[in-house]
Structure 1
Amino acid sequence: MEYTQLGRTGLKVGRLVLGTMNFGPQTDEAESHRIMDAALDAGINLFDTANAYGWGANKGRTEEIIGSWFAKGGDRRDKVVLATKVYANMTLDDSEPWPNHDKLSALNIRRSVEASLRRLGTDHIDVYQFHHVDRDTPWDEIWQAVDVLVQQGKILYAGSSNFAGWHIAAANEAARRRGTTLGLVSEQCLYNLAERRAEMEVLPAARAYGLGVVPWSPLHGGLLGGVLRKEREGGAARSGSGRAAEALQDPALRARVQSYEDLLEKHGLAPGETALAWLLTRPGVTGPIVGPRTVEQLSSALRALEVTLDDGLLAELDAIFPGPGESPEAFAW
């Protein structure tokens, strides 16, 4: 495993990040534990989760599964850089969400940290991430809550997810004015070959402020994982629902995906592994989040670390899935 700094911090993390969203809803506890053991054995040390994972009446279940894995001992907790998130309403009955149980008020941040610590069975969270921007809470209030938690030793760093470039700037300028916190050190964004809008402003802002970028959905919901080949072979492709299914309704995009699969077949490369390897070539990317449902899927993702993409192949991939370029040149001169 190759390691890199998480943004401007001194924290070293692997070039692949273990996403745990499937733990509970799609992967039972025993298999989830096997996946985490295999990830740690492979050198993956940044584990990403969120307080709401498990969903619906099972919100928090994913954190509980990670907590039960930590409880097995063997230095599991010490070896993991643990990242979780706050924002979603944690009222178990989604039809009657209770006020002040969501978003980024100081009250909800304090409540949510304590609840996550209990579920995770740990005394601190390494990277505490804001799952979405909160347009109603001022940054001074958010950073006040973070300052207290850092002083208490309950969190070490703060990160963001699904932020626009100007949100990253506003957050870190507010932190700079306070002078008591590092501000945001990482950003999780939707970024992959088929969805490159983050290149316009999010990635440049992250580089400017020293945030590590951790892309989620690196295969775009399975679209970049050989979906058309699986469809032809009658396999259990993920093209039946979600992001891939929506994308394949567009004939132009479907044609690009076919060109992508044809190109990689010519080079003897696996689509999913190539999509991950492409992200590892992008400036400012710390490592993509992989969300395996099985140990076998994790093994496939790890093979991406051995894939080398030369300049010619990168150019061909750009021709199939062109990026928008950086702003303002992306839409002006």
Structure 2
Amino acid sequence: MNLKKLYLSTAILAVLAFITYFLKNNDSPKVQDQRVGSPILANAQLDKVSTLEMISGSESMTFIRQDGNWLLQERYQLPADPKQIANLIKQLKDTTLERVASKNPERISDFGFGIDYINLLAEDGASVLSLDLGRETESGKQLVRFGEEEIAFVASEAFGVNGDPVSWLKKSLVSLDRDQIRTLKVSLLDGSSLELSRESEDEDWMATSELPEGMTLDQAAIDRAIGRVSQLNFVNLAELDDPEVLAAAANQVSVTLTMSDETNYTFEIGRRPEVRVEKQVETTNEDGEKISEKQEEVETPAGPVYVKIESSKADDPLNKYMDQTAFATTSTLFTAFPESIEGFLKKAPSDSEEPGEEE
């Protein structure tokens, strides 16, 4: 009899323990919040927003809206990519709170909060939105909470914070209409220079000084170089005293474009040159004999390409940007310009050749 009572007591305690565990670790599906079904960000809130803050781990980014642009404060107030900002705002507007995930602090502590944040502020500093992003659920949803509230939601769409500040910046440095370029001056690596002009976009480029005998301008090579420099993006930033930036300044090409409105743009394009060394290498000759010969190898690859741009317009923000940071661009900009003017020339057709025919 006592054994039966013991079994019964044990069973009751087990049931009570299970109920306690269930209540402690699970939220009733009926537990809801009036915000369920609504978007994370309402349209009515957008007009108030003047500052966007994003935090990802130790990286913090602050964008302030000014004259229609979002300026990234931690990167010299450079303008952000408007498409990326618009996509983020749209995502906040389109993502809805599907249900309450938990009101249990112990469960919420396992949701991955406290790493990624999105904060929207009004002009007076008042909070419009303070969103803490947790981990993504197994079903591809997003765990979120507002501020440090002890209630977590499941949002309809998974998203996170890209913590790379440079990736948020507008990459275009210049976008010039190449048809409006009237003069081109280049100073190349070997110290040679070339000055070209044209009256309109329908005319060929003409040299302002005499070319080497038997040579003429290679219009295609000139157009390729102009195409590279007139539509120019950057890929990264560096400090002005970075050793790579200083080395690039000592090995650069200078290009000046004059537009039809007489605006000048000067581009200084440089990179640290590669370092080559001669090494004694064992090889085999045509007779199958092993011989030792000297071969040149690249010991240190060339550095990144940096560009500095100066506009003749005093109010052009480019001038301010260039005084604050160095802009790295693609290597194709540097290689678009030959080491000497011969790269912009070709053999002139002889008098005996038909028009358009080359040897």
Q: Structure 2-normalised TM-score?
A: 0.20
Q: Which has the higher helix share?
A: 1
Q: Which has the higher strand share?
A: 2
Q: Which has the larger radius of gyration?
A: 2
